[in-house]
Amino acid sequence: MTKTAFFPRLLVCILVLIILIILHVIPLPILEVLILFVMVFRPRWFKNLVDQIYNE
């Protein structure tokens, strides 16, 4: 898969999540913000967490 094909899909996912965050006003959308953060920034701690879960 090329990077140009991946980038539009990532944008679509981000837009969908932003729309879901906007629609889900009450209670605070903490889970959606966390998911958006993980999708955009791909933090090292998340990869380590997934590796630990699937390693067991």
Residue 11: pLDDT over 60: yes
For residue 38, the number of C-alpha atoms closer than 13 Å in the C-beta half-sphere is 12
- pTM, two decimal places: 0.45
Which residue reads 């906007």 in tokens?
22
Banded pLDDT at 14 (limits 50, 70, 90): confident
Separation between Cα atoms, residue 29 and residue 46, nearest integer Å: 19
pLDDT at 44: 92
Helices and strands (H, E) in the chain, number of each type: 3, 0
pLDDT, tens only, 21-30: 777 665 666 6
pLDDT for the residue 22? 76
**Long-range CB pairs of 8-16, under 8 A, 24+ apart, other chains included:** 10/39, 13/39, 14/39, 14/40
